[in-house]
Structure 1
């Protein structure tokens, strides 16, 4: 992979920078409105741009509106003084707030000359110079940003797009690609950042033209097409494209990835962020190889929406859009073949040649009337609106089509129609589309469209079983309907596929395709994942991997962990992790850290959430020690029984891990914390069943000398037997008179004790609380095993998905309001 340098990584004295693909970054007016906004833009450029990239700018803030106002005042003969003063003061304020004295003085003098020219145009012929007047906003914006980049970051120059961008006329805005490309190439300067005016261009006769409202977005994709740019980022006032206008539909969700065709349809049908022509240059001229990103300059950390060519998961995205102020046009002349050119020129929202009908924007009525007047036929205009479900070939998805119709069954609908490429279902309404209707349809169409990415770390015995169960779970558990397996991670290799892995062959694909990875590469991918939520299932036993949890939580990643290390970390680390998870809204579920699939953590959560207080937790927490002491009767040496358990895979490869009690100690700490107590590992007394003489030996040496264990355990057994009792390794936590007592040790228990008679390998958990005092709550069952542990992880996954399905992210709206 070719390494490229962003501007905060580049030594600008270095002249031998490697070649890289050009990227285009466009900043809208609200992103450049104030000194504070421009400072954010400078920071974005420093972090995200490379030398030779292209920066496209709109006019600062409301400058274009002020210029339009001046133009209207001049046409009506009203005084211009106050508006001119306001315009010049606003531009001067930006200049002197951002630039050093020398540059500020120079730009102020150039501004004064421009204002003098503006006054002359307004006095001479406002209509003739309308485009020149409106172009000033972009020129001032580009000139200021380029000067600021020269001061702060790197060499920069600004270009007036009218010096190279040529279109056929202002109505069609068809670009002369060959001529424009040649002119742009002749004006570019190497190893510098170009700041280019958006919105403006010139026609074939050399006159200034504009590309219409939101034309700067169109400019950016035109420049990207001319330069075969790899990526175009539209830095705007919202952090992406949503499933509906978030100003109207509060439950709208971000669409992280959109196929080009769907984005084009959204732009055509009224999406508030996408201009209908924006994507055209990218798809028409370079075959869709460039991707478009919509990001927020006000919230750089928020994931952007990416538009390009993607696989099946992105094609499942759904959204609802609407347009009011439309006209249904009926005219016999529209049935004729001669109407084809007219239809192509107007690009109507909908056309039906057989019926002789078009649906156009109300603002296009005059132009259409003039065109049809030549034909001398009667025209009927009927006010209408539309509401549409938009998605990849959505018209062919009968379930969506049915839900769309059902959502509108109580509303008057003139007709349902499909778009030409089947990417939208449109309902034409004889009345305005209201906010209530839009919310209702959105709820019906988009309610189950949240996409959850799933990464599984740890592909050992339990991890493999988890993946074996996954296909069946996805097919039969409704909460998992939109879960997509996108990554498998082992200790050294990873297979990440943004468009999803085949759950049926994931392990085979991993063995054939996985590559080495670093933690930074894994975190980098997770940072930019294109899903509504990302869930990582940690089935590793690795303490090192648990050190990544704080980074996962910083990124808003949800963690389901069988890994005990993080949940039993030192107190400060544990507090930090809990605080980070709470701050980012990350779920952290770990039922399988204790008791495999037994719902002990769930029980504690339920009691606490119901208002109960936990006073004691005790039990047999180790399946290995449960097996050993249920079987041990002193008829054979304890060391022989231990080796038998090792041979059956019941113990760890080094049985001292089980006999040390450390695993039970950690489990008790996890449960005590889950019960609401702040406890550290050192607060729990732990009896190590391995004599000191055997603790530091190699595993092989320990097993050779394991018979040194026999005398102690035989003595403990015989002493208990004399009392009609037994020995068991017990974990106990209690709160007595405000004092916490906790420990794990070998205890002598009466034969009728609840912990005395278990099925070998079973765990048992006893919980005493305000509600369960005289008759404690007991949870008992297998505390180990690949099926129950994998099942416990799936239980956590379902719980997480149920909690996330209705989670809403706050939409940050700036200038769009």
Structure 2
């Protein structure tokens, strides 16, 4: 008999549950299937209970949200003829849950016992919905109530299992049944009085191991959303490799030190019975995954099995001369912590006996300080000891591997790699088995540290940049050509491997497979033969691939693409945008994207929003970073309008000059965005925002020159109407020429006010000698009050715009 456990991501929604059941159906052996709550449900149940305890009526909305999620999942899974009883069951459970939370609301008390009762609903509901789905498919099975089979003590929140009773109950329930397939909720159990208890967060793994040990299973399979245990967290290290095989001891070390794939207590029951345990991927069921057994793989190529980490750690330091040579201090320290049920994660002590350090979860640090200071109150008062020192915002990073004991210099390589990358080490610990080397570091360094160590022990030395390009038209094609041309130079000169990993246009989307890059010599043919473009699927793929240093490059003018920036930045995917819509959207949205980029260590770069390849925004940012303050900005920001007015002199119709600009790639797809001033308004607003001003499009004055009739109908209607309005455009030209002036569409920002409009430019103006498609920006600042800092050059064109985008991509890599 096999035992299979499916986690929250595996049963997150109806589509995933269908995958789970397909895996179960594909097995020929008898099975016990253990399932977690639907993805995210446990956290929401905790939130509902906490809100109720705080007398926040919003808990009702949370419960309603949860009820809807479960009802929708059931409806999506079940044919109409099988829905009634399942939907009724869900509503009954939520009626009961509402009553419990209502009691918490009025009592303003959420005991651990009540909390266990509340969060138990997640697994109960998911398992019963899946049972109903199996029944609708005609899959014979028996649903087991884990609460009646797994008996524990009354330590609510993290109950200890009574294995003697539990093994007997499970063995009897399975052996006395005529079924070959059993389904059980994970995580939940009960004490001797029948009160619901839980086995700790992640306890569904533990439930599966308990069942496996009780029935002497041939194997235990932990199904999750990654293909086995990895050499490092794949969310942080995209090049992390699957560990083919590992020992029970290594697996315990990795899981203890933060590897979330398997819950630490899971190992003990299966290790005692020597039951092989597989970690497999629900979404790639044919992948081998990782097998955990009595010994690791025989391959000696990798000395280190994996790199793991724990976040939200506090370091407690007990120091004082009164400790030296006096026995019993360590005992009293650990007794004080144990009395508060505080788990010690790491221990280290100086050889002088002057100090002892322990690491605990940050959530326990305040009560730890209170308990320890009380325990040593006399010694602290006498000056023999200092009050307990608590350092928060730390993490533990660990190298794990059975083979480490047979190789020298591992610790040296570890600390050398961290030191060269500016990662400060606060404490060090190594077990006597030499299976683990752990270091306490600053929490904000942990992601960098994991990557550094993974490169030092598993990878080569170059930096890899993975770019996903949306928009493969004129500018996008030029960008891809430039990347292809520069790849050898960047690798040789900057140790930078720039890989195009995804490309899409409005119709198709193409992704590299199996960790490779797209062949840029044949990308057009490959894109034509690729899947239909689906923006959300594209974004999901970028996030799920989670490649090292991922960058989304938006070379479109599409509002839908701009709308996904936030979800990508929140996944530490940097965004390089040629698209102006995001940076020129509401100030709140603009600020939110900036904030997300900062919060998640990503970059949001949009140099080409203003001036194509010109360093306009970069120059402005450099001025501000160096302490300068912008007083005024004056600019000609439209290559299109400059091209048009430089080429229109009345000898040929205005409409022909505009068509020429569009044919040469200078205009937006709809030229009215340029000629109507909207594009220039966006640009001056972006500059004003980058200068520190809170400004919206409605705050900008637009002194337009197009007759209103030109804005009606299609683009072709626009061209036709311009032809009919030729006398209007000729008059504009003649009036400027009569004053020996040129027509320029000028943007200005000063004293918090911005405006755009057509102006007569005299010969002594910086704007007069501006030819072709050139742009010019004048920055008047505290340091440049009279003679402005001038940025001038080509402000339109596919090649220069692509080069500006490419420069932003390289900036991402250099940070």
User: What interval of TM-score do these two structures reach, taking the shorter chain for normalisation?
Assistant: 0.5 to 0.7
8 Å CA contact 2:243–2:305 kept in 1: the answer is no
Structure number with greater Rg is 1
**SS at 1:537 equivalent:** strand
Q: How has the CA–CA distance of structure 1 residues 520 and 148 changed in structure 2, closer, same or farther, with 3 Å as cutoff?
A: farther
Deviation at 1:668, TM superposition (A): 0.8
* Counterparts in 2 of 1:623 and 1:262: CA distance versus 1, 3 Å: farther
Q: CA deviation at 1:506?
A: 6.3
Q: Is structure 2 residue 713 aligned with structure 1 residue 700?
A: no
Cα deviation, residue 318, structure 1: 9.9
Of 407, 410, 417 in structure 2, the residue corresponding to residue 387 of structure 1 is 410
Distance 2:464 2:211 in 1: 30
Q: Is the 8 A contact 2:555 2:579 kept in 1?
A: yes
TM-score by length of 2: 0.55
Q: Secondary structure at the match of 1:260?
A: coil
Q: Deviations over 1:374-401 (max 9, x none)?
A: xxxxxxxxxx86628999xxxxxxxxxx
| Structure 1 residue aligned with 2:342 | none
2:753 maps to which residue?
A: 741
Q: CA deviation at 1:667?
A: 0.8
Give the direction of change, closer, same or farther, for the CA distance of 1:224–1:594 in structure 2 (3 Å limit).
Answer: farther
Q: Which residue, 148, 160, 164 being the options, matches 2:167?
A: 160
After TM superposition, give the deviation of residue 585 of structure 1 in Å.
3.6
| Other structure's SS at 1:257 match | coil
1:242-281 per-residue CA deviation (whole Å, 9 max, x = no partner) reads: 489xxxxxxx965663233486799499756588989965
What are the equivalent positions in structure 2 for 1:277-316 lying under 5 Å apart?
282=278, 289-291=287-289
Structure 1: distance between partners of 2:693 and 2:307: 48
Shift of 1:746: 1.0
Give the distance between the partners of 1:235 and 1:26, measured in 2 at CA: 18
Partner Cα distance (1:508, 1:516) in 2? 14
CA distance in 2, matches of 1:386, 1:215: 36
Q: Alpha-carbon deviation of 1:524?
A: 3.5
Change over 3 Å in CA distance of 1:262–1:633 after alignment to 2: farther
Q: Distance in 1 between matches of 2:208 and 2:641?
A: 67
Structure 1 residues 793 and 186, CA gap change in structure 2 (3 angstroms): farther
Q: How far 1:753 moved relative to its partner?
A: 1.6
Map 1:110-509 to 2 at 5 A.
Answer: 142-143=150-151, 160=167, 189-193=181-185, 226=218, 231-232=223-224, 242=232, 254=237, 257-261=240-244, 267=250, 273=257, 282=278, 289-291=287-289, 387=410, 448=461, 452-477=465-490, 481-496=496-511, 497=513, 499-505=515-521, 507-508=523-524
Equivalent runs, 1:490-569 vs 2, <5 Å: 490-496=505-511, 497=513, 499-505=515-521, 507-508=523-524, 510-516=526-532, 518-569=534-585
Q: What is the match of residue 764 of structure 1?
A: 776
Output one character per residue of 1:134-188: Cα deviation in whole Å (capped at 9) or x when no partner.
xxxx999943599999xxxxxxxx97399779xxxxxxxxxxxxxxxx9899776
State how far apart, in whole Å, the 2-side matches of 1:10 and 1:458 are. Answer: 33
Q: Taking structure 1 as reference, are residues 757 and 797 closer, same or farther at Cα in structure 2, changes over 3 Å only?
A: same
Change (3 A) 1:318 1:797: farther
Q: Partner of 2:339 in structure 1?
A: none
Over 3 Å counting, the alpha-carbon distance change for 1:261 and 1:798 in structure 2 is same
The verdict on how the C-alpha distance between 1:510 and 1:161 changes in structure 2, with shifts beyond 3 A counting, is farther
Once the 2 structures are TM-superposed, how far is the Cα of residue 654 of structure 1 from its aligned partner? Answer: 4.5
Do the aligned residues in 2 keep the contact of 1:320 with 1:387 (CA within 8 Å)? no
Q: Write the distance in 2 (CA, Å) between the matches of 1:253 and 1:195.
A: 28
* Structure 1 segment 59-78 matched on structure 2, within 5 A: none
Structure 1 unmatched runs, 5+: 52-92, 104-137, 150-157, 166-181, 198-213, 245-251, 295-306, 309-314, 323-347, 351-358, 362-383, 392-402, 408-428, 804-817
Between 575-584 and 657-666, the greater mean CA deviation after superposition:
575-584
CA RMSD of aligned residues (A): 6.0
Cα distance in 2 for residues equivalent to 1:530 and 1:95: 39
In the TM superposition, residue 594 of structure 1 has moved relative to its aligned partner by 1.1
- CA contact under 8 A between 2:702 and 2:756: conserved in structure 1? yes
How big is the shift at 1:635? 3.5
The question of whether the paired residues in 2 share the 8 Å contact of 1:160 and 1:196 is answered with no
Cα gap change, 1:688/1:387 in structure 2, threshold over 3 Å: closer, same or farther?
same
1-side partners of 2:614 and 2:211: how far apart?
Answer: 57
- Three-state SS of the structure 2 residue aligned to 1:494 is strand
SS in 1 for 2:736: helix
Give distance in 2, aligned partners of 1:224 and 1:694.
80
Instruction: Say if 2:797 is the partner of 1:790.
Output: no
Deviation at 1:536, TM superposition (A): 0.9
The structure-2 alpha-carbon separation of the partners of 1:235 and 1:657, relative to structure 1 and needing over 3 Å to count, comes to closer
1:658 pairs with 2:674: yes
Contact 2:232/2:308 (8 A) holds in 1? no
Report the CA distance shift for 1:26/1:147 in structure 2 as closer, same or farther (over 3 A).
farther
Q: Counterpart in 1 of 2:321?
A: none
1:712 is the counterpart of 2:704: no
CA displacement at 1:704 relative to structure 2:
3.2
CA–CA distance in 2 between the matches of 1:268 and 1:569?
49
> 2 CA distance for matches of 1:293 and 1:775?
70
How many angstroms apart in 1 are the aligned matches of 2:208 and 2:575? 38
Change (3 A) 1:196 1:490: same
Whole-Å separation in 2 of the counterparts to 1:234 and 1:162:
33
Per-residue deviation, residues 760-780 of structure 1 (Å, max 9, x unmatched)? 011111111111122111111
Give the conservation status (yes or no) of the 8 Å contact 2:483–2:498. Answer: no
Partner Cα distance (2:605, 2:789) in 1 = 22
In 1: Cα distance, 2:670 partner to 2:14 partner = 51
The normalised TM-score by structure 1 is 0.54
Displacement after TM superposition at 1:628 (Å): 1.6
Give me the whole-angstrom Cα distance separating, in 2, the residues matched to 1:147 and 1:436. 30
Q: How does 1:4-43 map to 2 (within 5 A)?
A: 19-21=22-24
The offset of 1:625, in angstroms, is 1.1
Distance 2:666 2:402 in 1: 69
Task: Please name the residue that 1:177 is paired with.
Answer: none
Aligned to 2:92: none
Q: Are residues 767 and 518 of structure 1, via their aligned partners in 2, closer, same or farther at CA, if it must alter by over 3 Å? A: same
Alpha carbons of structure 1 residues 215 and 710: separation in structure 2 relative to 1, 3 Å: closer
Further displaced range: 603-612 or 695-704: 695-704
* Contact 2:221–2:277 under 8 Å retained in 1: no
3-state secondary structure, aligned to 2:775:
strand
Choose which of 800, 811, 815 in structure 2 pairs with 1:799. 811
Q: Using the alignment, how far apart are the partners of 1:141 and 1:553 within structure 2?
A: 45
Where does residue 60 of structure 1 map in the other structure? none
Distance 1:189 1:651, change over 3 A: closer
**When the two structures are aligned, how many residues end up with a matched partner?**
555
Deviates more, 1:572-581 or 1:603-612: 572-581
Does structure 1 retain, via aligned residues, the 8 Å contact 2:552–2:574?
yes
Tell me if the contact between 1:221 and 1:232 (Cα under 8 Å) persists in the aligned partners: no
The 10-residue stretch of structure 1 (643-652 or 567-576) with the greater mean CA deviation from structure 2: 643-652
